[in-house]
Chain A
Amino acid sequence: DQQVKQNSPSLSVQEGRISILNCDYTNSMFDYFLWYKKYPAEGPTFLISISSIKDKNEDGRFTVFLNKSAKHLSLHIVPSQPGDSAVYFCAASASYAGGTSYGKLTFGQGTILTVHP
């Protein structure tokens, strides 16, 4: 039972254009969502996050949109740069769990983004 899904294994975009990465979740208790970026031979690094009380969060070229009714979030990168080429993971957590489960993340399987010069 995969609670967080990234249905596109890969995405190819031209430099300067918009990249849109999508993520769907099934657990309605999830209330905090994150995007991580992973380069080869490195660990995932935190990119941007959003709480369920918001529907949009922006940080420079990166914007995350959350649609709670559809249980869907997306990451927009504008403009895309070749250095953005990496694997992007969507993750979700449920702060209701409390105690020692607080902060536990459930990850999607990742989307490989390639930005061509």
Chain B
Amino acid sequence: DAMVIQNPRYQVTQFGKPVTLSCSQTLNHNVMYWYQQKSSQAPKLLFHYYDKDFNNEADTPDNFQSRRPNTSFCFLDIRSPGLGDAAMYLCATSGSRKNIQYFGAGTRLSVL
């Protein structure tokens, strides 16, 4: 089945130690999104790629970076994780029906 896959499902890192979360998709969608979701809060868009064009949200901290080496893969890099970065990170894609996004199961990040 075509889908959006996030790895790992759970990630534990130390305060200040760089971490990379990955997302892959078999939907061949041209748009990929990264969201941060903290407990009982709305998913918050960090950035998205429209093909190779990177679009950062104005309030996304510089600590968060992203790479999209090809259509299928997208990475979220957190350069120096702080305790406040502990959250669920969701990857999503959209294609021809741009308003409808398809989500992966998420990566839950813990920062010790």
Contact = CB atoms under 8 A, between A and B. Distances in A.
Contact of B99 (A43, A105, A107): A105
Interface residues of B, number: 25
Nearest to B88: A43
Nearest to B40: A109
A34 B42 contact: no
Contacts of B42: 2, 4, 89, 106-110
A85 B76 CA distance: 31
Interface string B66-108: 0000000000000000000000001010100011111111100
B4 interface: yes
B109 interface: no
Given A9-B40, A43-B4, A100-B53, A105 B101 contact: yes
Nearest to B31: A103
- Main secondary structure, interface of B, reads strand
Contacts of B102: 46
Given A43-B106, A45-B103, A100-B50, A107 B55 contact: no
Interface string A97-117: 001111111111110000000
Interface of A: 2, 4, 9, 32, 34, 36, 41-46, 49, 89, 93, 95, 99-110
Given A43-B4, A46-B102, 19 more contacts: A4-B42, A9-B40, A32-B99, A36-B103, A42-B105, A43-B92, A43-B106, A44-B43, A45-B103, A46-B101, A49-B100, A95-B99, A100-B48, A100-B53, A100-B55, A103-B94, A103-B98, A105-B45, A107-B44
